[in-house]
Chains A and B, each alone.
Chain A
Amino acid sequence: MMRAFSDTLWRRPRLTIALLLAPPLIWLGVVYLGALAALLAQSFFSIDHFTGQVNRDLTLATYAELLRASNLDIILRTVTMAALVTLASAVIAFPIAWYAARHARGRWKALFYLGVMMPLWSSYLVKVYSWKLILAREGILTWGAEKLHLAWALNGWLALPVVGGNSLSVSATGTFVVFVYVWLPYMILPVQAALERVPPSMLEASGDLGAKPFQTLRHVLLPLAMPGVVAGSIFTFSLTLGDYIIPGIIGSSRRFIGQAVYEQQGVAGNTPLAAAFAMVPILIMAAYLWAAKKQGAFNAL
């Protein structure tokens, strides 16, 4: 019986593929895309503002509400933060990934993976709360700045509008620092994978043709690492766009999209507005990927 089955599979490889792919495709199609479609549908409903119940007549009123200044602030603030976090993650991740891909061997390589992965093992909440303590007015960072006689620099930065605040823990800078810390591994690993795929001879060829190291970085290494950077930035960008916990614990209480979704849905019960807010990151990511493809970020794949 089993043998007949195996033989059939061997004779009909497409049947094998169909059997293997069916469960994930059903999951993807029904559960995932279904949920997405439901979300999209919800965003065209509206809410009765007194009873908090959803009115199921199709309307664009909820999207119009998105365009209110305070909601546009939220979107702009979130996108700016996500972009800065992505940029900073890429800049920090690149040398680390470069070291790991090109120079680390054996034990050092293992240590690298451990160092990058270990923060991922501990609970996300524990990390964020630890950072709240580190960044607090009476936390170790302020203390360290005082000991190093750098308190003036810290206070000067905190005195700035927008990025500053009473302490790092209640400033947009604090939110930024924690975002970068939490998502950095998601940038390092794909960039490292991309750099490992670049043959050393490629860089030697560039130098051989007269390029100084910085020119090689600019014209060869970055383009070739770009698929990794884009993959990493998809993580850091979308994770920042959607996160609602970090800005709820660290920062100036100014809302981010994730919090708006959480509050409109979980707190205010305004599922349509939450759905409309949730569509924003999806659309932004779609536009981002399209732009990345246009820019040739995937050409070296």
Chain B
Amino acid sequence: MTKRFLTGAVALLASTALAGTATAQMSEIGEGEGALSIVAWAGYIESGETDADFDWVSAFQDKTGCMVSVKTANTSDEMVALMNEGGFDLVTASGDASLRMIAGNRVQPINIDLIPSWSKVDDRLKDAPWHTVDGVHYGVPYMWGPNVLMYDTEVFPEAPKSWDVVFKQMDLPDGASNAGRVQAYDGPIHIADAANYLMYHDPDLGITDPYELTQPQYDAALDLLRGQRELVSRYWHDAFIQIDDFKNEGMVASGSWPFQVNLLEADGVPVASTIPEEGATGWADTTMLHAEAEHPNCAYMWMEHTLSSNLQSDLSVWFGAVPSVPEACTDGSGMQTAEGCTANGLDDFDKIKFWKTPVANCASQEECVPYYRWVSDYIGVIGGR
């Protein structure tokens, strides 16, 4: 009895989550299905509820009748997990998630002919490798930006020139050590920040891409992070907890997103951000369509909306990011200005190494350390291993 029950349970599990088969791309957009569900980063899909000035959902709903529901995710891995579970139409995937979902047949190819505003997309992003595989597009660029170095302007009269303030034990300009006063990102992709630092300071290692690391390069990055563990009391993974830590825990420097910098500045906390000499990692997000999306027509309408409405302009202000449509900086479709785009990193595109998933058979080297090792090793580094 028990044995039969177990076998049945396993069979049931196996049948409910059969891997999806790749679907051919759509050829025309039909009537809207009345609903649309999106997996997105916090702050990415605003309907005026957080701040009445920031709303790029209501007009879309009024126009198309597609009611938008949002599931926020905190990390790229969480996004992949949610898309694997299914039940969502779209995801605003970063480069460290997009290729995994393409390889796993979780997302379907996009017919860019059905998106009239595609032509307005930044040329640097149109064929970006994190959403284009063998010339096939698997998404529409959404927003991009750098992972900046946030610092306390009372401790640093001038912006720090190097990321070493968060990697190496040192005395800061106020005379006190940085130990216990700096933070680092609580996600395995932070290993790339260490590799990026080493790429600049230790050329002998021969790192050419912080996401493509041979074993010796990877070991050097982990060593650097083990040293960082001595300096970091608590890693951050939730933007709002980091904001609280800068207010109440005496934090003075950390890798961060412009989002936190903007919110802290708005609260009158003396912080600013910079991209140090080593350059920075960054994210470039893509709106991708689930392979078994239930509302594909609404999804296509939304993708067009992301490029043609006030979204690019206002979201780049709200999130401290750079629009994927360059003219959104100047066309007055929202609040963004040319200066704002520059401040958020429009001209730093080449300094930024965008997040992508580390794979074993990498392009620049013989063999690289794959992502699953990054996940478990980073947990180990944080745990003191």
Contacts and interface: CB of A to CB of B under 8 A. Distances in A.
Question: Do A and B share a direct contact in the complex (Cβ within 8 angstroms)?
Answer: yes
Interface of A: 34, 37-38, 41-42, 47-54, 56, 65, 68-71, 73-74, 77, 132-133, 136-139, 165-167, 169-171, 248-249, 251-255, 260, 263, 265-270
A278 to B, nearest CB: 15
A265 B248 contact: no
B225 to A, nearest CB: 12
A169 to B, nearest CB: 6
B382 A269 contact: no
A34 B180 CA distance: 46
Contact of A254 (B237, B371, B375, B383): B383
Given A138-B249, A165-B180, A70 B233 contact: no
Given A41-B9, A51-B104, A165-B180, A70 B380 contact: yes
Nearest to A169: B249
B363 interface: no
Contacts of A74: 379, 383
A101 B195 CA distance: 61
Contact of A251 (B80, B232, B234): B234
Nearest to A65: B376
Nearest to A132: B244
Interface stretch (B13-21, B119-127, B288-296): B13-21
Contacts of A132: 244, 248
B250 A71 contact: no
Interface in B167-189: 179-181, 186
B295 to A, nearest CB: 23
Chain B, interface size category, equals 35 or more
B10 interface: yes
Given A37-B9, A139-B248, A69 B84 contact: no
Contacts of A270: 375
Contacts of A265: 81
Nearest to B99: A50
Interface in B183-212: 186
A70 B104 contact: no
A37 B80 contact: no
Contacts of A37: 5-6, 9
A249 B244 CA distance: 11
A49 B360 CA distance: 10
Given A49-B371, A268-B77, 11 more contacts: A41-B13, A56-B14, A69-B385, A70-B380, A137-B248, A137-B249, A139-B248, A255-B382, A266-B78, A268-B81, A270-B375
A53 B241 contact: no
A269 B85 CA distance: 9
Contacts of B375: 268, 270
B75 interface: yes
Nearest to B240: A129
A255 B383 contact: yes
B235 interface: yes
19 contacts: A38-B9, A49-B371, A50-B103, A50-B359, A50-B370, A50-B372, A53-B104, A70-B377, A71-B376, A71-B379, A73-B385, A74-B383, A138-B249, A166-B233, A170-B233, A170-B249, A248-B238, A253-B186, A266-B78
B30 interface: no
